[in-house]
Structure 1
């Protein structure tokens, strides 16, 4: 299992960090590892498919609180599908990633969502649908409206990103972190809140600002 550690703007956070488990789910080659690497180290490179699972940690500061995100990057190949269930158990948040230029990956993301629904109660996990590879706009197969409609109908956060162009990658993870903190604050303990209502339009407007949650 590969492991990478990072630290983002946590120098001023004096309290013990809140620790959250975050899983990346989606088909092979949708860019899950690239998103994690861009967020952790602000780097992009072509990455071979993940075998089993890769593990990353990132410490960051959000609204005066320190957070430690334990990021589990799961393999997208079908042969690892059953193993991935072992990794997302106990998760506080999940990124459902698809490639906007690959319709099948969008359909696979919907299957992953159904499996999360079977594993978690709505208040137990924060889920964001991520349409990655906006740099492939010319070959897009999944419209912004399709992604937004699925997210809204299932009360998920939603954002489009490009790990290659560093487009809204930090915003995606920050949205997750902010929602996790909000749930913890509202409940005075473990993250619990139904139907996330975070408006990603206020988290940043890089390039075309293709993100939303109403």
Structure 2
């Protein structure tokens, strides 16, 4: 089974932990306490596009409080995938998510990382459209410009959660498979050295002796 490291980044209270717990445990806690430092969870995903392929995500859920921000590089280092989460009901939340995207691209590079921009708390907008503070078109346009995956979800209802990790799993697997194929293609071919045995001129049984 292939294992991939996935990190969640975003400001406090955007719902990173709720997204992870909905994915891993299919549960939601309205009064979940803020993460301190980081939390580790894992979950497997059976890919839909690639039959018989199951991958395991090793998930680091980082704290969003400013005092823990300096610890983030320790968790996103060597990551294969990242979820950048913002709150669709909070003005300025997308801007803060964009700063995480810029940091990742600067420190890690998007060539080695599958990044998904995720707008959480969609259920609040569906109940009352006036609470939306981040327009989906703005977030989607930014994601397209930066070549990011993009989803709006609700950790509370579970809407869209499984689709995030399914799509990220597909992208990470395809990228790693392509890298392995490219690496194999650049390896020098081994030449087979075959020496034909010739009759020895010192052989007394030779006709020419």
Q: Which runs of 5+ in 1 are unaligned?
A: 1-16, 191-214
The residue that corresponds to 1:95 in the other structure is: 83
Q: Compared with structure 1, are the counterparts of its residues 189 and 89 closer, same or farther at alpha carbon in structure 2 (3 Å cutoff)?
A: farther
Tell which structure's C-alpha radius of gyration is larger. 2
Deviation above 3 Å: which 4+ runs of structure 1?
A: none
The residue that corresponds to 1:136 in the other structure is: 124
Q: Cα RMSD between the aligned structures?
A: 1.2
1:183 is aligned to 2:175: yes
The residue that corresponds to 1:146 in the other structure is: 138
1:19 is aligned to 2:7: no
Which structure shows the higher strand fraction?
1
Task: Calculate the TM-score normalised by the size of structure 1.
Answer: 0.79
What number of residue pairs does the alignment pair up?
A: 174
Q: Residue 92 of structure 2: SS of its match in structure 1?
A: helix
Q: Residue 60 of structure 2: SS of its match in structure 1?
A: strand
Shift of 1:189: 6.4
- Residues of 2 paired with 1:104 and 1:95: CA distance? 18
- Residues of 2 paired with 1:50 and 1:23: CA distance? 14
The residue that corresponds to 2:166 in the other structure is: 174
- Residues of 1 paired with 2:10 and 2:109: CA distance? 20
Q: Which runs of 5+ in 2 are unaligned?
A: 183-209
1:109 is aligned to 2:97: yes
